[in-house]
Amino acid sequence: MSNAPSHLKYTKSHEWVESMLDDTYRIGISDHAQDLLGDMVFIELPEVGQALSASDECAVVESVKAASDVYSPLSGEVLEVNEALVESPDLVNRDPYVDGWLFTIKASDAGELDELLTADQYIELSSDDDH
């Protein structure tokens, strides 16, 4: 089973959320998701300043096999995007939880965090769809 650090929150669609300072959250895709998609070749990031609602399509992660939409786990405004992914999309494969983050968001509704999954819940859910 792939790893899912316990200090993060998760979505059913395989995004993770890390709490930073104040209302700021960092977002990426899980180890399980990167493993399913395979070698990343291109990451399309949102624009800084873009306003997102929870579950909006906000990025695309593209591997040789598939291009998959990333859905924003939270509503808010995009503060920063991980420019390193432009040159090195494989960071998402090598280090999905640290160097492979996608963007940070200033959340407008902290209550949405309660909807997200814990690491244990996420692991249980993602082991179900292992073929």
Partner 1 sequence: MSYEINNQQDGVIFDKSHRGRSNPCQAPYAVEMSGTIPATLLRKVPPILPEVSEMQTVRHFTRLSQKNFSIDTHFYPLGSCTMKYNPRACNTLAMLPGFLGYHPLAPVETGQGFMACMYELQEILKEVTGMKEVSLTPMAGAQGEFAGMAMIRAYHDARGDTARCEVICPDAAHGTNPATAVMCGYKVKEIPTKADGDIDIDALKAAIGPQTAGIMLTNPSTVGVFERRITEIAKIVHDAGGLLYYDGANLNAILGKVRPGNMGFDVIHMNLHKTFSTPHGGGGPGAGPVGVSERLIPFLPVPMVGYDGEQYRWLTKKDRPQSIGRLSAFAGNAGVLMRAYIYARLLGREGMPRVAEYSTLNANYIMAELQKKGFDLAFPSRRATHEFIVTLKRQAKTLDVSAMDFAKRLLDYGYHAPTTYFPLLVPECFLIEPTETEDKSTLDGFIDAMGKIKHEAETQAEMVKAAPYTLPLRRLDDVRAARELDIVWRPREQAE
Partner 2 sequence: MPFIPHTENDVQQMLASIGVSDIETLFDEIPAELRIRSLDKVPAGLNEMEMSRLMRARASGPQPLCFIGAGAYEHHIPAAIWEIVTRGEFYSAYTPYQAEASQGTLQLIYEYQSMMAHLTGMEASNASLYDGASGLAEAVLMAVRANRQSKSKRILMPATVNPNYCSVAQTIVENQGITLELLDYEVETGCIDVASLPSDPGDVAALVIPQPNFFGVLEDVNALTDWAHTHGMLVIASVNPTSLALLTPPGEWGEHGADIVCGEGQPLGVPLAGGGPYFGFMCCNLKHVRQMPGRIVGRTVDVDGKDGFTLTLQAREQHIRRSKATSNICTNQGLVVTAATIYMTLLGAQGLQRVASVSHHNTQTLCEQLSAIEGVSPVFTSPTFHEFVIKFDGVKAADVLTALTAKGVLGGFNLSDDYPALGEAILVCATETKTAEDLALYCDALAAVMGELKGGAA
Closest CA to 29 of 95, 74, 81, 113: 95
- Residue 63 φ then ψ, to 5°: -110, 180
Residue 39 interacts, among partner 1, partner 2, none and using kind-specific CB cut-offs from 5 to 8 Å, with partner 1
Cα torsion 99, 90, 2, 11 to 10°: value is: 70
Which of partner 1, partner 2, none does 69 bind, CB closer than 5 to 8 A by kind? partner 2
* 110 near partner 2, judged by CB under 8 A: no
**What's the CA gap between 21 and 15, in Å, rounded?**
19
67 binds partner 2 (CB under 8 A): yes
Which of 42, 53, 98, 124 forms a contact with partner 1 (CB under 8 A)? 42
Q: Which residues bind partner 2 (CB under 8 A)?
A: 41-42, 44, 47, 62-67, 69
